[in-house]
Amino acid sequence: MPDLSVELFGVKFKNPVWVASGTFGYGVEALELYDLSKLGAVVTKGISLKPRQGNAPERIAETPCGMLNSIGLQNPGVEEFLKKIYPQIKEIDTHFIANVFGEEEEEYLEVCLALEDAEKIVAYELNVSCPNVKKGGMLFGHDPEVLRRLIERIKARVKKPVLVKLSPNTGDIKTFARVCIDAGADGLVLINTLLGMKIDIKSQRPELSTLMGGLSGPAILPIAVRMVWEVFSQFGSSIPIIGVGGIYDTDSALQHILAGASCIQVGTANFFDPYAPLKIIDGIAQYMEERSLDAFTSLIGKAHQMVVRV
């Protein structure tokens, strides 16, 4: 088996295949399916300070090659997570990354601080696609100054690495990547869902109770690959990129990696093929063997070297 390990922000991952936030629960839900220690990492469902019920149904809709969701970040809150869920994941031999969100800067910080002593959590992944109530509902990740302040504030107080998961629903993703780098983020996670909509032609009404929701799944793969490519083109290896969006098999995972992702996350595919992450780990190993590659890291951003610029 070739060496699939990769070290990012001081943490060694046994392989580059993680599962994405909100598509794998907290990991415990999948314990009956397979041995989670095979995964590079598990990113938890979003965790907030207080419990949240999420949005009313309908909050999921099928789309061509994907799905729309408007779950509304339902979760039991950080206290309950630490009391009831954390003890169940403590013994699992892989890394966990906590996906964190809040409606105010302070909330993000409090959730991170509450998790500081939880050894199994190796990093925080900030979901900045949340409305900032103090800023009149504007999303954290849609205002460069708000984003900068959030990251700086958290970085100044926490010990663990801070990854920022960017929204694709902004103008130029490179502007926001720059802000994250300048503010001291340890990694970029590209991308969250794209804003979309579905209308039921029988009732002639929007299908989701929130009217719009986040589009994910294979339909968004080319957009996610393009964004990973753009950010890697601009910033090279000055900050690790975690690629997410549309990954469902070895080919789609490798596209992200060759575009510049150091690790990848499998999201919506977990719903239609729960074993996809394991197949991708084996598929990457096979791809490396076929090319006599010893180190996985040689594949990261490789496609950039293959482009002849005139």
Ligand X SMILES: Cc1cc2nc3c(=O)[nH]c(=O)nc-3n(C[C@H](O)[C@H](O)[C@H](O)COP(=O)(O)O)c2cc1C
Catalytic positions, written as ranges: 130
The angle that helices 173-182 and 144-157 make with each other, rounded to 10 degrees, is 30
- Inter-residue long-range contacts of 30-34, CB under 8 Å, 24+ positions, other chains counted: 30/274, 31/88, 31/92, 33/274, 33/275, 34/274, 34/275, 34/278
The position carrying tokens 């994250």 is: 180
Our CB check for ligand X shows the closer of 71 and 139 to be 71
Q: Enter the DSSP assignment of 299.
A: G
> Is the CB of 5 or the CB of 74 nearer to ligand X?
74
Beta carbon of residue 167, minimum distance to ligand X (angstroms, whole number): 9
Shortest distance, position 189 Cβ to ligand X, whole Å = 7
CB of 251 to ligand X, least distance (A): 14
Rank residues 187 and 245 by Cβ distance to ligand X and give the closer one. Answer: 245
Residue with Cβ nearer ligand X (168 or 301): 168
Decide whether 1 or 48 has the Cβ nearer to ligand X. 48
Q: Min. distance of Cβ 8 from ligand X in angstroms?
A: 18
| Contacting positions for ligand X (CB under 6 A) | 20-23, 45-46, 69, 71, 73, 99, 127, 165, 192-193, 216-217, 220, 244-247, 267-269
- Helices marked H in the chain — which ranges? 78-80, 86-89, 105-115, 144-157, 173-182, 221-235, 250-259, 269-272, 276-290, 302-305
On whether the CB atoms of residues 231 and 94 are closer than 8 A, the answer is no
CA pair distance 244, 41, nearest whole angstrom: 13
Smallest gap from residue 134 Cβ to ligand X (A) = 20
Nearer to ligand X, 21 or 94 (CB): 21
Contact between 48 and 130 under an 8 Å Cβ cutoff? The reply is: no
Which residue in the shown chain puts its C-beta closest to ligand X? 22
CB of 14 vs ligand X, minimal distance in Å: 21
The angle at the Cα of 227, spanning 247 to 122, to the nearest 5 degrees, equals 65
CA distances from 305 to 146, 240, 262 (A): 35, 18, 16
Helix, strand, or coil (residue 17): strand
Q: Which amino acid is at 144?
A: P
Contacts of 167 (CB under 8 A, 6+ apart): 128, 129, 139, 141, 142, 176, 191, 192
